[in-house]
Structure 1
Amino acid sequence: MFDLPTFTQVLVIGGGPAGSTAATLLAREGFNVTLLEKEIFPRYHIGESLIPSSLKVLDLIGAREKIDAHGFQYKPGAHYCWADESWDLNFSDLSGNFTYSYQVRRDEFDKLLLDHAKSQGVKVFEGVEVCSLSFEGERPISAICSLTNEKSQTKEICFDFLIDASGRSGLMSTRYLKNREYHTVFQNVAVWGYWKNTKPFDKGREGIIRVESLKDGWLWGIPLHDGTMSVGLVIHKTAFKEKRSKSLKDIYLESIAESVDLKQFLETGELVSEVKSEQDYSYTAEKFASQGYFIAGDAACFLDPLLATGVHLATFSGLLAAASLASILRNQISEDQGISFYEKTYRQAYLRLLVIVSAFYKNSKRESYFWQAQQLTKSQGGDKDKLQETFLNLISGMEDMSDIEEKSEQLFQDASERLRENWSLRTKQLSNELDRTGQEKLIASNQFMSKFHSLFSLSQESAVEGFYIVTTPQLGLAQVN
């Protein structure tokens, strides 16, 4: 029988990037942390492309040298071939020591993070599944667990706080809260495989991700350190169903043949894996935190993979949860304050990325993406170079990292109920006005931007105590003076 403790201060469910980040940070602060992962790592996971904000989190958890040393493919930026336009994004244009990222094999990357968590004092149990949770009122207080492959024997572990990082299965939001909302706009299917002997990308651009739009979707091409290239198709479910008389492999190969940019690099290549698929529906939970729990990573929300922000949102939410919880456990702030900070900060990061992805699906010109990025950030100035810089900061995740470190950006509106109401309204509006029948008009309009900003008003009349993240001398939240 597995040697599970009977009590832990913090129970983390899930050993992916969100769970391992939160657990590692809390353990490094001296808290008693137990992490349960139902799989035994390494385990396969799609989502290989990282953005530069991940480096900041890797620095905070002390794992950057390990990741650098592993030999993952260096990622200097991205190339977009979208809506009859092509352009490059160069991470070298970012400031500081965060001017690159990685293309990773997620089975290897996630195992490195989980093993690092163990080395930092996290009690990690792999192959252990949470069967059920017990509550005191609405507060989770204990979990019944079993071995994933042997459920006849169970053990109970009690905890003070829960971090649900259980991935897309979403233990809290789908089984107990039942508060997951799907975006009708982004009901896509992802289809992918791995290639060898492909042509290298343009000289000086080795390691970039290439993204190309198609009539019914878009393609990604990601070179990996083992000599393979991950090539994927994202297609709307309606178009996918229309093609289902063909095999999955035929749908995949025919879509690649329709491309202009990416197919040239696959001319010498060989598909060396089975073709896999997954429903790629974007969603969000109605709330990300409440008394006794935080929901992190894909368990809280999932965004279309167009901008490769999945690991960013996972590690970012892990950082937010750890900082909020550290200050709560030290009695530096109230639980309600920590919950409010987490909820609003994580939701803001998710929603503004959602806006940019929506603009891409509208097939706008690139200047409109840049302009919208500025409307969603604190940046000023309207010349083309400044707008592109703002866009780069936003989709690299560095804008999110900057926000939580700057006092002036943390006076979020204390209106959780209004936020949920507006979110529900906005989702309905997006589904009505951005469906696939040609009514695509809301995202680029001033009307949309005003509605979006109403969710995040910084007016003094509605603001409450503001907080920002500090990392020295301790990780936690500090209050705006």
Structure 2
Amino acid sequence: MGNKENPHVLVVGGGPAGSTAAALLARSGVQVTLLERDTFPRYHIGESLLASCLSTLRISGAYDKVAAHGFQIKRGGYFQWQHDTWLLDWDKLVDAEAWSWQVERAEFDDLLLRNASDQGARVIEQARVTNIVFDGERPTAADWVKAGDDTVHTLEFDFLVDATGRDGLLAKHFGMRRQHPAFRNVAVWSYWKGAHLHPDSPEGAINVASTEEGGWFWNIPLSDGRNSVGYVVSAKLAAEKLRGHDSRQSYYLDTIAASKPMTAMLQGAEQVAEVKAEQDYSYVADRFCGPGYALVGDAACFLDPLLSTGVHLATYSGLVSAAAIATTLRGEMSETDALAYYEYTYRRAYTRFLSLVSRMYEHYVGSEEYFAHAHKLTEVYQGDSPEQSFTRIMAGLTDVGETAGTQERTGTEVIASEAERLHTDPDTDGVNIKYMGGLDMSPVWDHWRDPLVDTDMGELRITTEPVFGLTTRPRSDAEREAVSRPVLPPRHGAGAAH
């Protein structure tokens, strides 16, 4: 690899992870084909973006298209969790330029897919992959068919990016996906007109309110005046509750009526869509990459909707994988080393969020202890307080800072040890860890632990100057300018919360 004049990368899946990887590789001069099973735009849940997405959109070329669309500006979150209230104002706790959007995913994902095409990727929709051809463990070709046509097309490639989400093309092939015994939750949601946010919320903030039975609500304002309102609870409890209702609609409205915060936010509002439902569970692949392939986004791992990490992890993995692949294809680094960096980086991000979400569900004993725990999961940025550390993590900025070289990289040992303890320790500080206990995750952590520690790769980071990829050199002034954050949007411009 690296010596071939025109290497070809196949991306399977056109969601945010696949579209981001395809756009970045195409911008780097790589020949890219993206096969997407559906026709975009198509509906998808997961509307709340983290601030980290802006820098990735800028590097991939999609930022201007997304910014011009008029999505609802988001500047933080307002959490009513158990007996605590968290006012997570990104302006005040992190940075005045930390913001993102609440998006209609059908439109957002479509913009990202079209951007991949605009950057030079060959995008084929309604294309279903039926078979992957391997040479040993290395994929070398894909058979695919177009919807409504039985003709089998075979496409040879030099590298495969699996962005097939929960379908898990390669994870299922290799039998390497592990489901966490918990996070088996059910989400039910609909859309409302005339809903409100809590009056103390930052502009466009996601509102989260927990319930006594262990579930939680989201309330997300969208640009068209609708609010996405959903409820997440364990599948077991949902099944018990549903038996007492004649429909999902009845169950959904009953859960809202039982919640004082949600009753207040929906006072005078009108439900304008049918109730949708989806079963959530958390899983992780034993490895995120191998000879000639990388798993990105939900194809590698799925966490939980609680901290709105879905699009962040998708675009972040697309960014890091593309940097590793582009560097390898130019012959600047061995495939093994570049992919080790990808594995290290993406799993670190996922596992840090896993630890935080686990503690929110089962080990939450107050905001002070919880923020202190988050503080331990990162190298503290410029004297951040525990609350600031948590907010920086949940805005996605810790991950971006670590890969860009603007923040010290957190060692895997700190994060892996905590995650491993949550899986194996039945009792921590007197609190039973029901969510994570009982699953042997040692193959995952053993494969991951510090692959870069004893090599020159310890200072590796993502660069955009002079080319996109991985580097060990210090950041230049030109690079700082190239990846600088976009100009602040107006405070109450188009798409502001009603």
When normalised by structure 2's length, the TM-score is 0.85
Once residues 410 and 387 of structure 2 are traced to their aligned partners in structure 1, the CA distance between those partners, rounded to angstroms, is 26
Q: 1:352 to 1:253 in 2, by over 3 A?
A: same
Farther-moved stretch of structure 1 (249-258 vs 337-346): 249-258
Q: Is the 8 A contact 1:8 1:157 kept in 2?
A: no
1:162 matched residue in structure 2: 160
**Deviation (angstroms), 1:397:** 0.6
1:359 matched residue in structure 2: 359
Which residue identity is paired with 1:346? Y
Once residues 257 and 314 of structure 1 are traced to their aligned partners in structure 2, the CA distance between those partners, rounded to angstroms, is 34
1:216 matched residue in structure 2: 214
Q: Is the 8 A contact 1:21 1:319 kept in 2?
A: yes
Once residues 408 and 99 of structure 1 are traced to their aligned partners in structure 2, the CA distance between those partners, rounded to angstroms, is 16
Q: Is the 8 A contact 2:139 2:292 kept in 1?
A: yes
1:325 matched residue in structure 2: 325
Confirm whether residue 23 of structure 1 aligns to residue 14 of structure 2: no
**Deviation (angstroms), 1:459:** 10
The 5 Å alignment of 1:103-252 reads: 103-147=102-146, 149-174=147-172, 176-199=173-196, 201-202=198-199, 205-214=202-211, 215-245=213-243, 246=245, 247-252=247-252
The higher-RCO structure (CA 8 Å, 6+ apart) is 2
Q: Is the 8 A contact 2:195 2:227 kept in 1?
A: yes
Confirm whether residue 387 of structure 1 aligns to residue 382 of structure 2: no
Confirm whether residue 465 of structure 1 aligns to residue 477 of structure 2: no
Once residues 335 and 454 of structure 1 are traced to their aligned partners in structure 2, the CA distance between those partners, rounded to angstroms, is 17
Tell me the secondary structure at the aligned position of residue 46 of structure 2: coil
What does the per-residue CA deviation read over 1:138-160, in whole Å, with 9 as the maximum and x for residues that have no partner?
A: 0000000001x325111000000
Q: 1:78 to 1:252 in 2, by over 3 A?
A: same
Q: Is the 8 A contact 2:378 2:410 kept in 1?
A: no
What does the per-residue CA deviation read over 1:44-82, in whole Å, with 9 as the maximum and x for residues that have no partner?
A: 000000010000101111221211110101111100000
**C-alpha root-mean-square deviation of aligned residues, in Å?**
2.8
Once residues 409 and 339 of structure 2 are traced to their aligned partners in structure 1, the CA distance between those partners, rounded to angstroms, is 14
Once residues 197 and 161 of structure 2 are traced to their aligned partners in structure 1, the CA distance between those partners, rounded to angstroms, is 42
**Deviation (angstroms), 1:442:** 9.9
- 5+ long unaligned stretches in structure 2: 1-5, 437-444, 475-498
What does the per-residue CA deviation read over 1:88-144, in whole Å, with 9 as the maximum and x for residues that have no partner?
A: 101213666741110000000000111111111110001111111000000000000
Which residue identity is paired with 1:308? S
Tell me the secondary structure at the aligned position of residue 151 of structure 2: strand
1:274 matched residue in structure 2: 274
Q: Is the 8 A contact 1:37 1:127 kept in 2?
A: yes
Q: Is the 8 A contact 1:93 1:99 kept in 2?
A: no
Once residues 428 and 376 of structure 1 are traced to their aligned partners in structure 2, the CA distance between those partners, rounded to angstroms, is 17
Q: 1:408 to 1:110 in 2, by over 3 A?
A: closer
Once residues 350 and 281 of structure 1 are traced to their aligned partners in structure 2, the CA distance between those partners, rounded to angstroms, is 14
**Deviation (angstroms), 1:185:** 2.3
Q: Is the 8 A contact 1:133 1:143 kept in 2?
A: yes
Farther-moved stretch of structure 1 (365-374 vs 49-58): 365-374
Tell me the secondary structure at the aligned position of residue 199 of structure 1: coil
Once residues 337 and 381 of structure 1 are traced to their aligned partners in structure 2, the CA distance between those partners, rounded to angstroms, is 30
Once residues 82 and 197 of structure 2 are traced to their aligned partners in structure 1, the CA distance between those partners, rounded to angstroms, is 24
Q: Is the 8 A contact 1:412 1:458 kept in 2?
A: no
1:449 matched residue in structure 2: none
Once residues 115 and 303 of structure 1 are traced to their aligned partners in structure 2, the CA distance between those partners, rounded to angstroms, is 27
Q: 1:459 to 1:114 in 2, by over 3 A?
A: closer
Tell me the secondary structure at the aligned position of residue 187 of structure 2: strand
Q: 1:424 to 1:360 in 2, by over 3 A?
A: closer
What does the per-residue CA deviation read over 1:424-471, in whole Å, with 9 as the maximum and x for residues that have no partner?
A: 9657426x559xx9723899xxxxxxxx999756996x5663221111
1:305 matched residue in structure 2: 305
2:46 matched residue in structure 1: 47
**Deviation (angstroms), 1:366:** 1.0
Q: 1:413 to 1:307 in 2, by over 3 A?
A: closer
- Find 1:429's aligned residue among 390, 401, 424: 424
Q: 1:105 to 1:408 in 2, by over 3 A?
A: closer
**Deviation (angstroms), 1:423:** 10
Once residues 65 and 184 of structure 1 are traced to their aligned partners in structure 2, the CA distance between those partners, rounded to angstroms, is 41
Q: 1:480 to 1:369 in 2, by over 3 A?
A: farther
Once residues 87 and 289 of structure 1 are traced to their aligned partners in structure 2, the CA distance between those partners, rounded to angstroms, is 37
Once residues 28 and 316 of structure 1 are traced to their aligned partners in structure 2, the CA distance between those partners, rounded to angstroms, is 17
2:491 matched residue in structure 1: none
2:490 matched residue in structure 1: none
When normalised by structure 1's length, the TM-score is 0.88
Once residues 83 and 285 of structure 2 are traced to their aligned partners in structure 1, the CA distance between those partners, rounded to angstroms, is 35
Aligned residues: 453
2:349 matched residue in structure 1: 349
**Deviation (angstroms), 1:200:** 5.2
Which residue identity is paired with 1:48? E
Once residues 17 and 39 of structure 2 are traced to their aligned partners in structure 1, the CA distance between those partners, rounded to angstroms, is 17
Which residue identity is paired with 2:71? F
Q: 1:240 to 1:83 in 2, by over 3 A?
A: same
Q: Is the 8 A contact 1:210 1:262 kept in 2?
A: no
**Deviation (angstroms), 1:202:** 1.9
Once residues 391 and 454 of structure 1 are traced to their aligned partners in structure 2, the CA distance between those partners, rounded to angstroms, is 27
Tell me the secondary structure at the aligned position of residue 143 of structure 2: strand
Which residue identity is paired with 1:465? M
What does the per-residue CA deviation read over 1:221-240, in whole Å, with 9 as the maximum and x for residues that have no partner?
A: 00101111100111101111
**Deviation (angstroms), 1:266:** 0.6
What does the per-residue CA deviation read over 1:313-371, in whole Å, with 9 as the maximum and x for residues that have no partner?
A: 00000000000001100110001001110001100000011111111112321112211
Tell me the secondary structure at the aligned position of residue 472 of structure 1: coil
**Deviation (angstroms), 1:32:** 0.4
**Deviation (angstroms), 1:409:** 4.4
Q: 1:328 to 1:380 in 2, by over 3 A?
A: closer
